[in-house]
């Protein structure tokens, strides 16, 4: 998962200089800027989560937080008649969205804003729907819901996907792996409690199917890792970063019955 925060060992080495030509931070984005998406998910799952919402008004105002290069942004534009405001703090992802939406003839309906998810530049109750796939972990589940809720109209909706334990008592080495990643998932019940604590009503939950992890995320990522090993794999810092991404995919392959992503479909009462 793409975390540009400082909390993980994987990403706390961003400013390391590689042969004086680029930082590890820049190399990190060399992986993710070339992927169709930057976190687990897929169009089928976006559609399924959308289908659990009541109908939105025509021309609904939708905010997509932590949009990355915008696969789900384009899906939201196709699913709705509204305007999608796509927010990310990495401008090159937003440039990709703008280029693609121009080609798709969607540029009138997709706006991009480079901003941080914890200081969003919007008016209170501006949106009918906030959507965020695989990004709320950056701010924390309950804190993210509390921070974003004021931007949703009364009766409006928030949909997020986040990591959750699917089985009680996960293996200790898996728990330790998540600890090293700097983020410990909650159980779905714990996350539901956080939804209530944030003052939202839970309408439904939906688990991301395995294809959203493998075919749509790790398969392209592993192919990109192979390419980069050919060009930059002899740099030890690059190799270590690529190893850590491979380890993440292998961890999912080995332990996928214990955890996954769950969509939470919520209403602001
Ligand atoms: C795991 S990716 C998910 C991207 C996309 N939603 C998807 O599913 O493909 C998380 C995204 O959040 C962005 N991000 C990281 N920290 C952020 C912050 N503080 N504010 C806004 N976006 C942030 C990253 O640049 C990245 O695009």
Q: Are residues 56 and 111 in the same domain?
A: yes
Say what the pTM is: 0.93
Query: In this model, does residue 5 exceed pLDDT 80?
Result: no
Q: Are residues 137 and 222 in the same domain?
A: no
Q: Are residues 75 and 150 in the same domain?
A: yes
Domain span at residue 224?
Answer: 21-36+212-255
With CA atoms as reference, report the closest residue to 189 among 156, 173, 167.
Answer: 167
Query: In this model, does residue 20 exceed pLDDT 60?
Result: no
Q: Are residues 154 and 178 in the same domain?
A: yes
Q: Are residues 222 and 151 in the same domain?
A: no
pLDDT band at 6 (very low <50, low <70, confident <90, very high): very low
- Residue at 2 is within a domain: no
pLDDT tens figures, 176-235:
999 999 988 999 999 999 999 999 999 999 999 999 999 999 999 999 999 999 998 889
Q: Distance, CA 2 to ligand 1 centroid (Å)?
A: 7
According to the model, what pLDDT value does residue 2 have?
55
Residue 4 Cβ < 6 Å to ligand 1: yes
Q: Are residues 151 and 141 in the same domain?
A: yes
**Mean pLDDT value across residues 91-116:** 95
Residue 133 Cβ < 6 Å to ligand 1: yes
Residue 29 Cβ < 6 Å to ligand 1: no
pLDDT band at 11 (very low <50, low <70, confident <90, very high): very low
Residue 224 Cβ < 6 Å to ligand 1: no
Q: Are residues 109 and 164 in the same domain?
A: yes
According to the model, what pLDDT value does residue 13 have?
36
Query: In this model, does residue 14 exceed pLDDT 90?
Result: no
Query: In this model, does residue 10 exceed pLDDT 50?
Result: no
- Residue at 25 is within a domain: yes
Give the closest residue (by CA) to ligand 1 atom 26: 68
Q: Are residues 232 and 151 in the same domain?
A: no
Sequence-distant contacts of 236-245: CB under 8 A, at least 24 apart: 237/13, 237/16, 237/18, 237/24, 237/27, 238/18, 238/24, 238/27, 241/10, 241/13, 241/24, 241/27, 241/28, 241/31, 242/31, 244/10, 245/31, 245/221
pLDDT, mean over the chain = 92
Helix, strand, coil: what percent of the chain each, to 5? 45, 20, 35
- Residue at 16 is within a domain: no
- Residue at 95 is within a domain: yes
Q: Are residues 74 and 206 in the same domain?
A: yes
Q: Are residues 199 and 248 in the same domain?
A: no
Question: How many distinct structural domains can be found in the chain?
Answer: 2
Distance of alpha carbon 68 from alpha carbon 118, whole angstroms: 16
Q: Are residues 100 and 152 in the same domain?
A: yes
Give the closest residue (by CA) to ligand 1 atom 13: 66
Question: What CATH number corresponds to the domain at position 102?
Answer: 3.40.50.150
pLDDT band at 21 (very low <50, low <70, confident <90, very high): low
Residue 8 Cβ < 6 Å to ligand 1: no
**Mean pLDDT value across residues 123-152:** 98
Residue 67 Cβ < 6 Å to ligand 1: yes
Query: In this model, does residue 15 exceed pLDDT 90?
Result: no
Q: Are residues 110 and 220 in the same domain?
A: no
Residue 39 Cβ < 6 Å to ligand 1: yes
């Amino acid at each position: 998962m793409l975390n540009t925060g400082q909390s993980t060992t994987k990403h706390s080495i961003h400013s390391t200089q590689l042969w004086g030509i680029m930082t590890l931070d820049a190399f990190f984005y060399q992986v993710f800027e070339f992927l169709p998406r930057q976190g687990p998910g897929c169009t089928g799952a976006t559609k399924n989560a959308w289908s659990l919402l009541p109908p939105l008004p025509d021309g609904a105002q939708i905010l997509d937080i932590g949009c990355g290069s915008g696969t789900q942004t384009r899906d939201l534009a196709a699913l709705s008649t509204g305007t999608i405001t796509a927010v990310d703090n990495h401008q090159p992802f937003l440039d990709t969205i703008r280029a693609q939406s121009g080609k798709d003839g969607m540029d009138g309906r997709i706006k991009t804003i480079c901003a941080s998810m914890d200081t969003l530049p919007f008016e209170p109750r501006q949106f009918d729907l906030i959507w965020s796939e695989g990004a709320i972990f950056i701010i924390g589940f309950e804190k993210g819901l509390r921070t974003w809720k004021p931007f949703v109209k009364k009766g409006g909706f928030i949909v997020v996907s986040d990591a959750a334990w699917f089985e009680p008592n996960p293996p200790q080495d898996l728990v330790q792996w998540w600890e090293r990643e700097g983020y410990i998932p909650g159980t779905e019940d714990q996350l539901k409690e956080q939804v209530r604590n944030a003052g939202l009503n839970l309408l439904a939950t939906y688990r991301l199917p395995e294809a959203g992890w493998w075919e749509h995320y790790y398969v392209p990522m592993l192919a990109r890792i192979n390419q980069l090993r050919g060009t930059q794999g002899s740099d030890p810092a690059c190799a270590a970063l690529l190893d850590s991404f491979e380890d993440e995919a292998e961890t999912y392959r080995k332990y996928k019955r214990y955890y996954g992503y769950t969509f939470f479909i919520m209403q602001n009462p």
